[in-house]
Every structure is written in structure tokens, then in C-alpha cells.
Amino acid sequence: SRWGSDYAANMQRLQSLAARTGQTVLLYNGQPAAACYHAISAGLTERAADVWGGDYPYLQPVDSSGDLMAEGYESTVTVTPDNLKAALLTLESDLVTDDDPAAWFHDADTTKSGFVKTVAVGNKSFAGTKLRAALGLRSACFTVQYTDTGFLFTVHGYGHNVGMSQTGAKYMANAGADYKEILAHYYPGTTLQ
């Protein structure tokens, strides 16, 4: 239903791609690799350990600067102080905030890729991934400022940012890279067999 009248052409294209690569497996040290992917990176992909814990040598930050030009790379969300506090109270029921909302956010810790690892709000510290989920942000790569309309979140990228960026892969393909080069770039140290 999503493809409508383009269904037959899209399905034929996907079947052709699968026929050419369907017998190929991405491996790391002889074992199938966790080929994680996301929609749009923040310009540099993320280390798996910073998002989910557990480190994978091939899921490390790599350049994906083609994403910086993508439609949807940057988004903004404004949240009123009342709505923000209500969302945060679902995560930490004993949250205490200052009377001045401009002083709520402090002590942010970010990853090499610019994603929020943790940030203090009031008397509590929150993981960036938890805030992303609670506030419906497109990624955990965000900055926040207090304005006269509430908290303005400026968000970069879309998704967890680990592994291959779909937008970055398309950018590389349009520049002439084949799937082997793209996979080697986003999953360094892996092999195809």
C-alpha cells in the first residue's frame, strides 16, 4: 500500500538486489556481524557501547558527512515546562526542579559523535536515550535552550546512529561507491563471504 502503483517496479528492483547479494554474509572474525543501521546520522556514527552497552569493534564512529545535507537532518521540538516535567516524572518520580526553568538543564556529557550520554535536569541525571524516548525526539544528538515559548530542542540525525546510515549509504552510492565499499566503511574490520 505504501508503494501504490510503483509496487511492481520496486519489488522487482528489490528482488534483483537480493538475488545479487542474498548469498553474501557480513562477518567479523568469522561470525555474522550485527549489521545495525539507522535513517540519518549526525555526521559521525555512534559507538554501540555508548548507545546500548556492549562494545563491537566494527560498530565505532565513522564519518557520514553526506548526512549533513539530507532533508530531515535537523529538526526542532518545543516542549513547555509543564509538559517536560510531566514527561520526566514518568522516568524519575522524585524529580525536583528549580522555580526557574532556565536553570533546569545542566552538566551534559556527550559522546565523540555529539550524542547526549547523560544530562542533569534538576536533581536527577538522565540518559540521552531515555530523554529521546520520553520526548519523542528523532535522536539523542540534541541541544536544548530555554526560550519564551519553552524548551527548544535542536536535534541532529534520525535514529540510534549506530552502524550504517541509510542516507549516508545512499550518498556514497550516488558518489560511485558499491555496496562492498559502503559496508567496509560503515562496518570497519568486517568481511563479506
List the strands of the sheet with 150-156, edge to edge.
74-79, 150-156, 142-147
In this prediction, residue 34 carries a pLDDT of 94
- Cell numbers standing for residue 72: 530531515
Classify 140 as helix, strand or coil. coil
pTM (2 decimals)? 0.85
Which amino acid appears at position 189 of this protein?
Answer: G
What's residue 106's pLDDT? 93
Measure the CA–CA gap between 104 and 47, rounded to whole angstroms.
Answer: 28
The dihedral sign for the CA sequence 145, 151, 152, 155: positive
How far is Cα 39 from Cα 151, in angstroms, rounded to an integer? 25
C-alpha distances out from residue 65 to 108, 137, 154, Å: 24, 21, 18
Which of 87, 64, 95 shows the shortest CA–CA distance to 170? 64
Write down the pLDDT at residue 161. Answer: 96
Is residue 84 a contact partner of residue 135, using CB atoms and an 8 Å limit? yes
DSSP H helical ranges for 77-156: 81-89, 128-135
pLDDT along the chain (193 residues), means of 10: 93 87 89 96 95 92 96 96 95 94 94 94 95 96 95 97 97 96 98 95
As given in the structure block, the three cell numbers for residue 49 are 557501547
Q: What is the pLDDT, as a whole number, of residue 2?
A: 86
